[in-house]
Structure 1
Amino acid sequence: MLFHVEMTVNLPPDMPEEQAAEIKATEKAYSQTLQQKGTWRHLWRVAGSYSNVSIFDVRDNDELQRIISGLPLFPYMEIRVRPLCRHPSSIRDDDS
């Protein structure tokens, strides 16, 4: 199943920079592993904000919940999830 996920990060202003840098590094490694597996299909930065738009390819809602809640930045995120399905007017049969 494909999901469109919008994530906005809101780190506390008083979080020590060293702690923020450590969480961000751990988050980057976690997300890159999922991208290499093909689970985190696409990842785009939203210009001018600490937000991203991502496409996940997972078995079901439970797998997506497990992945998202495992993000090191999860406690500091606002997240919006939308399930996706193929549009009947699409000229492609796949995601190319």
Structure 2
Amino acid sequence: MLFHVEMTVNLPADMPEARAAEIKATEKAYSQKLQNEGTWRHLWRVAGSYSNVSIFDVEDNETLHHIISGLPLFPYMEIRVRPLCRHPSSVRDDDS
């Protein structure tokens, strides 16, 4: 199943810079592992904000929830998830 996921990060203003850098480094490694596995298909930054738009390819809702809640930045995120399905006017026969 494909999911469109919007994530906006809101780190506390009083979070020590070293702690923020540590969380971000762990987050980067986690997300790149999922991208290399093909689970996190696309990742785009939203210009002008600490946000991203992502496409996930997972078995089901529960799997997506497990992945998202495992993100090191999860406690500091506002997240919006939308399931995707094929559009009848698509010129593609697959999800590429």
Q: TM-score scaled to structure 2, two decimals?
A: 0.99
Structure 1 residue runs of 4 or more that deviate by more than 4 Å after TM superposition:
none
Q: Distance in 1 between matches of 2:16 and 2:95?
A: 41
Identity, % of aligned positions = 88
Matching of residues 38-49 of structure 1 within 5 Å: 38-49=38-49
| Amino acid of the structure 2 residue aligned with 1:65 | H
Name the SS for the 1:66 alignment partner: helix
- Counterpart-to-counterpart distance in 1, 2:30 and 2:90: 32
Q: How many residues align?
A: 96
Distance 2:56 2:91 in 1: 22
Aligned pairs for 1:4-83 (under 5 A) are: 4-83=4-83
User: How far does residue 38 in structure 1 lie from its aligned partner after superposition?
Assistant: 0.1
Query: Shift in Å at residue 94 of structure 1?
Result: 1.3
Cα separation, 1, equivalents of 2:89 and 2:54: 23
**Secondary structure of the equivalent of 1:95?**
coil
Q: Which runs of 5+ in 2 are unaligned?
A: none
Which deviations, in whole Å up to 9, do the C-alpha atoms of 1:13-64 show, x marking residues without a partner?
0000000000000000000000000000000000000000000000000000
Q: Give the TM-score taking structure 1 as reference length.
A: 0.99
